[in-house]
């Protein structure tokens, strides 16, 4: 029963997130590129979506963390690392460049896979390869 409880949360959260991405148009790479084009034809609608998410997080996070455990898991999974280092800054910079070039990030890419677009599929394969390489690097460091 505990295993089912831990799977329901991510499934529901992912489904709601996916619907929100689709409904707001954030699965459209041109819309993302328009938001990132601040010196051209800037499209501020992503700012509205991000603001809504930030407000929901700020309001609900305080109530959620007062609980002993999340509704659909046995414990909270909070990041242990809190410092900002070179690796975090460099990773964020690379992520931003990839997002600007492709107009996709992981959430919208997974959501948009259902369209069957070869562009999105190629992005998804490259994203999975990047994740695999990070795990491989961590494993190699651990073994040294």
Read off the pLDDT of residues 76-120 as tens digits, 9 standing for 90 and up: 888 888 899 998 999 899 888 888 888 888 888 888 888 888 988
Query: Cβ distance 115 to 109 under 8 Å?
Result: no
Please state the pTM of the whole predicted model. 0.67
Range of the domain at 110: 2-143
The residue-averaged pLDDT of 49-59 equals: 90
The confidence score (pLDDT) of residue 85 equals: 92
What is the Cα Rg of the chain in Å? 18
What is the number of domains present in the chain? 1
């Amino acid at each position: 029963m505990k295993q089912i409880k831990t799977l329901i949360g991510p499934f529901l959260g992912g489904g709601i997130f996916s619907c929100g991405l689709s409904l707001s148009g954030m699965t459209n790479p041109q819309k993302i590129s328009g938001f990132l084009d601040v010196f051209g034809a800037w499209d501020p609608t992503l700012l509205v979506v991000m603001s809504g998410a930030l407000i929901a997080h700020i309001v609900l996070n305080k109530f959620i963390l007062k609980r002993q455990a999340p509704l659909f898991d046995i414990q909270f999974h909070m990041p242990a690392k809190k410092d900002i280092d070179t690796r975090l800054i460099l990773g964020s910079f690379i992520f931003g460049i990839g997002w600007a070039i492709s107009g996709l990030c992981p959430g919208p890419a997974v959501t948009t896979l259902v369209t069957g677009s070869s562009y999105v599929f190629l992005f998804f394969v490259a994203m999975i390869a990047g994740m695999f390489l990070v795990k491989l690097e961590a494993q190699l460091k651990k073994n040294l």
